[in-house]
Chains A and B, each alone.
Chain A
Amino acid sequence: MEHFIFGRLGWDDIAIFDVFRDPTVSNIVGSSAGWLAVIGGVVVAALLLIKGWWRPLLFEWLNTTDHKKIGIMYIVVGLVMFARGVAEGVVMRTQYVTAFEGGYLTADHFSELFSTHGTIMIFFALMPFLIGFMNLLVPLMIGARDVAFPRLNQISLGFTIVGAMLLMVSLVIGKFATGGWTGYPPYTGVAFQPGTGPDYWIWSLGLSGIGSLLTGLNFAVTIYKMRCPGMTYLRMPIFVWTALCTSILLIFALPPLTAVVIMQALDRYLDFHFFTNDLGGNMMNFANLFWMFGHPEVYILILPAFGLYSEFTAIFAGKRIYGYTSLVIATMAIAVLSFTVWLHHFFTMGQSPTINVAFGIATMLIAIPTGVKVYVWIATLWGGRIRMRTPIIYLAGFILFFAVGGYTGILLANPTINFTVHNSQFVVAHFHNVLLPGTLFAVLASIYVWFPKFFGFRLDERWSATTAWLFIIGFTFAFMPLYMVGLMGLPRRSPAFDDPSYIPYMIVTMGGALCVFAALCTLIGTFVVSAKRREELAVPGGDPWDGRTLEWATPSPVPEWNFAFLPEVKCQDAFAVEKAQGSAYKIEREDFEDIELAPKSWIGLTIIVFGTLLGFAMVFWIWWLAVLSALALLAHAIGLGFVRDEGEIIPADVVERTERDWIAAARQGQGTDRTDEVSARNRGFSARITEA
């Protein structure tokens, strides 16, 4: 009976009590993390109740289908998970400092750490960041009121949160996998890991993968079908192009992940033999399928970041992007090529040299379009009037370090070199080198750039710049030494080593990790300080940086309906051109109309609750709960086909008033000079209005 109710969940699984059962250092660290999660959860819940914030949370955020709020929620989820990921990084680097003496964590605990760290950073920090920005920016940039399927968008977010929740739960109840974010069997099969770990991996990736797939679908349709009149393909901002390529990648690259996760689940739950050692299982199928997803995934992580860099480089260089068409072609080329290189992740696993060479060459080909991009950014800066704001600091770090990351990537693409450095810290250095300066810096810089757009005030310049420098310095010290250590022979994912010559490097990287941690703290500080000074930093005009694309042609925060009239564009960078011609901020039409917004929906919350329960129940074999949750999800999904609710109507006079107030303010000549843009004089009106 107890078995029926609780499945294989027992008291021993409550990981936060480990510390009382057996107070080793490793358990103290592990349980503290669990307690932190619990206390954090309780504090948040208490705040929601006491301050009454649950009401707006429920009725303004969780049931909204507004792409802007959904985007913000994605980024908040990303930030929370990112904080945990960084903390785990620091703990792992501490382990490496003591690893000569065997380290203070157990080998299993260390393995769990790099597994959750990798999974979190990729699926629940960087992806939500980028998908968040796609949500925030794509509809505005193409002049649409929302994405094609607002409710589906909420569903996607729901599934992403489910995955993140499962990872948080694994901190408190049971253990996460020890097989790395790639989860290679047979090590993650039942024979070696009968516990809950790989099942957590399966369900968090599997369920959040549904969300990502639907996001790809949604944005592909949005970009193909919802562009405003005049927004031809070659007038779309570069970020929209990269979002389109990312969507295509999501659509085609997620299915291999789905397939591999299903097969792994069948192996673990029903004793199938896809990837087992015995009875005809073949783990090479896992490697192939996983990386058929995994390699495009790294481009899912980098392409939108490239798009963000392109947008704000143009803004802060004060000129239009150089070589637009070549950038578009390069983006498409990368998207296509990214499906032809997956094998470079396992050059050493026994296929013939000919195959290795083919994939090695394909990999090196990708360097060409990527190189094109780097030149395009440099050429955009060239001859521009560059303002050294925070985003340009990140950009400088990016151009410098991404080049290094790219070169080491080319080294790794050479199968002969790969044989000597694969599975070493060299690889750890390489992928952090491309992911941090590549994606993370882009995201942090973009938070600075677009924060004022959606919250109505800028971020404090001093704090932001300090954060940028800390991230850059921290990154340098935390990861550059790893190239050396890798070449000296230290394997990755290794909890201990026996060569004292690694120790000095480990101390340096530890320092770097602490510096990154400090950067995380100042990042949070930036938000706090800026929120306190928000009157001073307010930019109701909506265009604090002299932006170029359509999203800047709206007040800040952006009204729920985005545009009073759907824009009509005649060229690239339409808003910049209008401002230059003095034709911005005009009311050309009088026929204001009611605007219908997408109806609110609770399906996202249903998914969060029952999806998490479903995942949890499957991990712990609580079949009745799994069935009930699945039925609840199904019932809600089917029920949706029967409701035909009307969206909220924004009356024409509200639309008109908002639009007129904003334009009147803009015309009062509060325009800022660019040299002044970080002072309190910047109210978000960049245009020099020429009375024509």
Chain B
Amino acid sequence: MTTSTSHLQSHPGLNLGAAHGQAHADAEPVVFGFWIFLMSDLVTFAMFFAVYATSLQATAGGPGNADIVDVTSIALQTGALLVSSLLFGIATVAMKHGSAARTVIFWLIASLAFGLCFLGLEVRDFIDAADKGAVPMRSGYLSAFWALVGLHGLHVAVGSVMILVVCTQIAFFGLASDVKTRVLRLGLYWHFLDIIWIGIFSVVFLPGLLT
């Protein structure tokens, strides 16, 4: 990338390299591209939200939202996900301030642990729902519910695998600048999933809790 230097301002927190020059220039298209990917993914989620919103009445006499939402579990899941995000943030800050690779890995794994807690609780909720007969095959509403919440869960699962991959890469290559931008992108992804979760919380679970 020897192209125009006028775009070079962003990723101030990354501390990519000594003079930042080439490393920043290299990071520019990759990070920008990842933002675009997230925008696109956001639209995918929007479609699942829209279908969910139009399916609220489509319970076909089966269980509705209020029948399957477990307040405590949702609160715990929200907590776990947000703490996980916070820990990821700490990992990024550690990376910026030149901590040892081991420290960064430590925080990433901590973040992963909370992500896994989230997933565990979510799976438990799904199993509970299924026990109550609220399987996705039961009604259009439940299909939309499982698909929307499940899609988010799937994203978290993929993110968890990616945390492991990135940790391995840190172990292999140290905090090289291309690894750093990967951590940065994974962080964006991880925080993005929080935002989606807030959406799910407000659109799916809150109304269920209020009724």
Assess whether B51 is interfacial by the CB under 8 Å rule. yes
A contact face: mostly helix, strand, loop, or mixed: helix
Which one, B67-75, B137-145, B201-209, is touching chain A?
B137-145
* CB contact under 8 A between A225 and B7, given known A279-B60, A289-B47: yes
Could you say which of A260, A272, A566 contacts B3, with CB atoms under 8 Å apart? A566
Cross-chain contact B51 with A281 (CB below 8 angstroms): no
User: B141: which A residues are within 8 A, CB to CB?
Assistant: 280
Q: Which residues 12-67 of B have a CB within 8 angstroms of A?
A: 28-30, 32-33, 36-37, 39-41, 43-44, 46-48, 50-51, 54-55, 57-60, 62
Complex interface bits, A228-272 against B, C-beta within 8 A gives 1, otherwise 0:
110000000000000000000001101110111011001100111
* CB contact under 8 A between A148 and B29, given known A229-B3, A259-B47: yes
Cross-chain contact A256 with B47 (CB below 8 angstroms): yes
Q: Which residues 212-229 of A have a CB within 8 angstroms of B?
A: 213, 216-218, 220-221, 224-229
Cross-chain contact A282 with B40 (CB below 8 angstroms): no
Assess whether B191 is interfacial by the CB under 8 Å rule. no
Cross-chain contact B32 with A251 (CB below 8 angstroms): no
Cross-chain contact A285 with B51 (CB below 8 angstroms): yes
**Separation of A472 and B134 alpha carbons in the complex (Å):** 58
Assess whether B182 is interfacial by the CB under 8 Å rule. yes
User: B59: which A residues are within 8 A, CB to CB?
Assistant: 280
**Separation of A644 and B36 alpha carbons in the complex (Å):** 24
Could you say which of B33, B44, B136 contacts A272, with CB atoms under 8 Å apart? B136
Assess whether A349 is interfacial by the CB under 8 Å rule. no
* CB contact under 8 A between A638 and B60, given known A149-B29, A274-B144: no
Assess whether B2 is interfacial by the CB under 8 Å rule. yes
Assess whether A144 is interfacial by the CB under 8 Å rule. yes
Cross-chain contact B58 with A281 (CB below 8 angstroms): yes
Assess whether B165 is interfacial by the CB under 8 Å rule. yes
User: B169: which A residues are within 8 A, CB to CB?
Assistant: 641-642
Q: Count chain B CB atoms within 10 A of each CB in A216, A282, A566 and give the residue with the most.
A: A282
Q: Count chain B CB atoms within 10 A of each CB in A228, A254, A263 and give the residue with the most.
A: A263
Cross-chain contact B32 with A279 (CB below 8 angstroms): no
Cross-chain contact B139 with A279 (CB below 8 angstroms): yes
Assess whether B94 is interfacial by the CB under 8 Å rule. no
Assess whether A320 is interfacial by the CB under 8 Å rule. no
CB distance from B97 to the nearest CB of A (A): 25
User: B136: which A residues are within 8 A, CB to CB?
Assistant: 266, 270, 272-273
User: B146: which A residues are within 8 A, CB to CB?
Assistant: 272
Cross-chain contact A279 with B40 (CB below 8 angstroms): no
Q: Count chain B CB atoms within 10 A of each CB in A213, A217, A228 and give the residue with the most.
A: A217
Cross-chain contact A272 with B36 (CB below 8 angstroms): no
CB distance from A258 to the nearest CB of B (A): 6
**Separation of A662 and B33 alpha carbons in the complex (Å):** 36
* CB contact under 8 A between A273 and B140, given known A227-B3, A280-B60, A638-B165: yes
Complex interface bits, B156-175 against A, C-beta within 8 A gives 1, otherwise 0:
00000000010011001100
B162 to A, closest residue via Cβ = A638
Assess whether B147 is interfacial by the CB under 8 Å rule. yes
B7 to A, closest residue via Cβ = A225
User: B58: which A residues are within 8 A, CB to CB?
Assistant: 273, 280-282
A250 to B, closest residue via Cβ = B40
Q: Which residues 119-139 of B have a CB within 8 angstroms of A?
A: 136-139
CB distance from B90 to the nearest CB of A (A): 23
Assess whether B9 is interfacial by the CB under 8 Å rule. no
* CB contact under 8 A between A227 and B138, given known A251-B39, A642-B172: no
Cross-chain contact B43 with A266 (CB below 8 angstroms): no
Cross-chain contact A221 with B3 (CB below 8 angstroms): no
**Separation of A281 and B58 alpha carbons in the complex (Å):** 7
Assess whether B211 is interfacial by the CB under 8 Å rule. no
Cross-chain contact B47 with A225 (CB below 8 angstroms): no
Cross-chain contact B147 with A225 (CB below 8 angstroms): no
Cross-chain contact B44 with A148 (CB below 8 angstroms): no
Cross-chain contact B139 with A259 (CB below 8 angstroms): no
CB distance from A234 to the nearest CB of B (A): 15
Cross-chain contact B36 with A217 (CB below 8 angstroms): yes
Q: Count chain A CB atoms within 10 A of each CB in B47, B48, B137 and give the residue with the most.
A: B47
* CB contact under 8 A between A226 and B29, given known A280-B60, A641-B182: yes
* CB contact under 8 A between A251 and B36, given known A280-B60, A641-B182, A642-B172: yes
Could you say which of A216, A252, A274 contacts B51, with CB atoms under 8 Å apart? A274
Cross-chain contact B29 with A225 (CB below 8 angstroms): yes
CB distance from A539 to the nearest CB of B (A): 29
Cross-chain contact B33 with A221 (CB below 8 angstroms): yes
Cross-chain contact B2 with A566 (CB below 8 angstroms): yes
**Separation of A272 and B142 alpha carbons in the complex (Å):** 8
User: A282: which B residues are within 8 A, CB to CB?
Assistant: 54-55, 58, 140
CB distance from B187 to the nearest CB of A (A): 16
B168 to A, closest residue via Cβ = A642
Cross-chain contact A258 with B54 (CB below 8 angstroms): no
**Separation of A121 and B28 alpha carbons in the complex (Å):** 37
A226 to B, closest residue via Cβ = B3
* CB contact under 8 A between A270 and B55, given known A251-B40, A642-B169: no
CB distance from A151 to the nearest CB of B (A): 12
User: B147: which A residues are within 8 A, CB to CB?
Assistant: 262-263, 266, 272, 274
CB distance from B29 to the nearest CB of A (A): 4
Cross-chain contact B47 with A255 (CB below 8 angstroms): yes
CB distance from B146 to the nearest CB of A (A): 8
Cross-chain contact A221 with B60 (CB below 8 angstroms): no
Q: Which residues 265-323 of A have a CB within 8 angstroms of B?
A: 266-267, 270-274, 276, 278-282, 284-285, 288-289, 292
Chain A residues proximal to chain B, CB less than 8 Å:
144, 148-149, 213, 216-218, 220-221, 224-229, 251-252, 254-256, 258-260, 262-263, 266-267, 270-274, 276, 278-282, 284-285, 288-289, 292, 566, 638, 641-642, 644
Chain B residues proximal to chain A, CB less than 8 Å:
1-4, 7, 28-30, 32-33, 36-37, 39-41, 43-44, 46-48, 50-51, 54-55, 57-60, 62, 136-144, 146-147, 165, 168-169, 172-173, 178, 182
Known contacts A224-B32, A282-B140, A285-B51; 13 additional CB pairs below 8 A are A148-B33, A149-B29, A217-B40, A225-B28, A229-B4, A255-B46, A255-B47, A259-B48, A272-B136, A273-B58, A273-B137, A274-B143, A285-B54
A-B CB proximity, top 3 nearest: A280-B140, A280-B58, A259-B47
25 CB contacts below 8 A, A to B, read A144-B3, A217-B36, A217-B40, A225-B28, A229-B3, A252-B39, A252-B40, A255-B44, A258-B44, A266-B147, A273-B140, A274-B51, A274-B144, A274-B147, A276-B140, A279-B138, A279-B139, A280-B55, A281-B143, A282-B55, A284-B54, A285-B50, A285-B54, A644-B173, A644-B178
